[in-house]
């Protein structure tokens, strides 16, 4: 216990002046110091090459294995390295670097900043998506055929809304809508809030219900603060997919927007998503022209390290483009798979598909190079791995000298 106490004070003294250790952050740090960290080696087949692949994970399960599942497929063998004290984790992971393809550690945010200073991509566990309340909702649909289709479905199916006047509805919402929806749609990786946590929001907020022929088929807990309305939790009746296909989730987004306008709110926080540009929830929110921001209360980071940028890591980054911390903001890294040098058209297509408001820089990697005339789209950096651009990857956090960069 004395060792833990001394380390806690050492970490406290090492905090940057702008960081205040209090509340949930202090609790997570102390919990990490007291409870050992599980370190596991996963062995299976890499998705792209089907060659043997090895991933080391560290942190609480199952969340620590979230990204590893995007790298390996088929039958995966698990070997427990041990349950180790937090302060020994950096050296243990470093000793495993030469023998594995990928390291992914889930660590509380303060420990990530203080103990793991180099050699890792810092990926927040969650990011928030926000939308400024527009004067004209039609502005969101201009040039946006997918969103237009969603709004037509709401009208075609006659979906309307009401705001719940009674606090007793919260337990119904929690048990019949929120819980089954989270469990069915996100499985073992579902982040489920406790009922008492939602109750704190409800004292200052409301429940917005989506109605179909008078029946409540979906609901969303919303909570205003200052000029922002926060969508805290949502779900469909019994978690049924048929309500999603009917347009119930789109209706929640639309009617939350309308409700925010009646409250005089200027912005809506539609909640957290995984920091992956191809994540379904993030893609859905992106078409509403939302802006990605850091989640202020995000307590954990994924620390990512790869041994080399080979075929399997490039495959991972092609279907799982990662958002990472880049100085004081958020950037993303993705790979483009091509048979030869990437063309301007291919670069533009990747940019249009992946770019989202709020990103500082989009780093696009190519193992086959770029055509000579290929220019980087706005706020994008093209990295030619064939020409030795691996030294300019965000893994080293030295991102100022990348090839073909565009401000």
Tens of pLDDT, residue by residue over 27-69, are 555 665 668 999 999 999 998 788 999 999 999 989 999 999 9
Domain count of the fold of the chain = 3
- The rounded mean pLDDT for the chain is 87
Domain contains 61: yes
Rounded-to-integer distance, Cα 298 and Cα 107, Å: 11
Rounded-to-integer distance, Cα 224 and Cα 268, Å: 9
Residue 402 confidence class, pLDDT cut points 50, 70, 90: very low
Judge whether 297 and 201 are in contact, CB under 8 Å: no
**First-residue to last-residue Cα distance in the chain:** 50
The burial class, CB within 10 Å (0-12 / 13-18 / 19+), for 323 is buried
In this structure, the answer to whether residues 94 and 138 fall within a common structural domain is no
From residue 347, alpha-carbon distances to 21, 158, 322, 381, 395 in Å are 43, 41, 17, 10, 22
Query: Quick one: what percent of the chain has pLDDT higher than 70?
Result: 86
Rounded-to-integer distance, Cα 14 and Cα 116, Å: 13
Domain contains 312: no
In this structure, the answer to whether residues 385 and 370 fall within a common structural domain is yes
Domain around 327: 321-407
Domain contains 202: yes
Give the global pTM. Answer: 0.87
In this structure, the answer to whether residues 120 and 197 fall within a common structural domain is no
In this structure, the answer to whether residues 265 and 328 fall within a common structural domain is no
- 3-class DSSP assignment, residue 154: helix
Domain boundary residue, one of 276, 307, 338: 307
In this structure, the answer to whether residues 286 and 357 fall within a common structural domain is no
HSE-up of residue 63 (Cα within 13 Å, Cβ side):
17
Q: Tell me the per-residue pLDDT of 174-198, one tens digit each, with 9 for 90 and over.
A: 999 999 999 999 999 998 999 999 9
Judge whether 311 and 48 are in contact, CB under 8 Å: yes
In this structure, the answer to whether residues 142 and 288 fall within a common structural domain is yes
Q: Phi and psi of 303, rounded to 5°? A: -100, 115
């Amino acid at each position: 216990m004395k060792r833990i106490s001394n380390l806690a004070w050492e970490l406290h003294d090492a905090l940057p002046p702008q960081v205040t250790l209090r509340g949930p952050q202090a609790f997570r740090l102390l919990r990490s110091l007291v409870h050992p960290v599980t370190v596991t080696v996963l062995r299976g087949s890499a998705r792209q090459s089907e060659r043997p692949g090895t991933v080391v994970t560290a942190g609480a399960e199952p969340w620590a294995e979230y990204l590893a599942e995007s790298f390996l497929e088929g039958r995966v063998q698990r070997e427990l390295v041990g349950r180790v004290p937090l302060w020994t984790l950096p050296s243990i992971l470093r000793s495993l670097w030469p023998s594995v393809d990928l390291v992914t550690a889930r660590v509380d945010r303060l420990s990530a900043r203080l103990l793991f200073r180099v050699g890792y991509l810092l990926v927040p566990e969650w990011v928030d998506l926000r939308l400024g309340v527009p004067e004209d909702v039609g502005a969101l649909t201009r040039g946006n055929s997918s969103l237009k289709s969603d709004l037509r479905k709401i009208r075609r199916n006659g979906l309307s809304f009401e705001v719940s006047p009674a606090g007793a509805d919260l337990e119904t919402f929690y048990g019949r809508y929120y819980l089954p929806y989270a469990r069915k749609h996100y499985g073992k990786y579902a982040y489920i809030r406790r009922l008492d946590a939602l109750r704190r929001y409800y004292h200052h907020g409301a429940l917005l219900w989506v109605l179909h022929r008078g029946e409540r088929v979906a609901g969303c807990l919303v909570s205003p603060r200052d000029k922002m309305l926060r969508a805290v939790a949502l779900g469909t009746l019994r978690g049924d997919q048929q309500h999603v296909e009917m347009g119930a989730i789109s209706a929640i987004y639309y009617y939350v927007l309308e409700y925010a306008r009646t409250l005089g709110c200027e912005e809506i926080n539609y909640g957290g998503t995984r920091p992956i540009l191809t994540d379904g929830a993030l893609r859905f929110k992106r078409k509403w022209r939302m802006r990605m921001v850091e989640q202020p209360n995000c307590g954990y980071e994924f620390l990512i390290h790869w041994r080399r940028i080979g075929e399997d890591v490039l495959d991972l980054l092609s279907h799982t483009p990662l958002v990472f911390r880049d100085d004081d903001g958020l950037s993303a890294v993705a790979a483009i798979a091509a048979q030869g040098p990437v063309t301007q058209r291919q670069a533009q297509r990747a940019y249009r598909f992946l770019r989202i408001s709020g990103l500082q820089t989009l780093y696009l990697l190519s193992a086959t190079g770029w055509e000579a005339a290929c220019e980087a789209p706005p706020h994008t950096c093209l990295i030619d791995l064939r020409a030795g651009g691996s030294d300019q990857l965000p893994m080293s956090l030295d991102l100022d000298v990348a090839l073909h960069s565009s401000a």
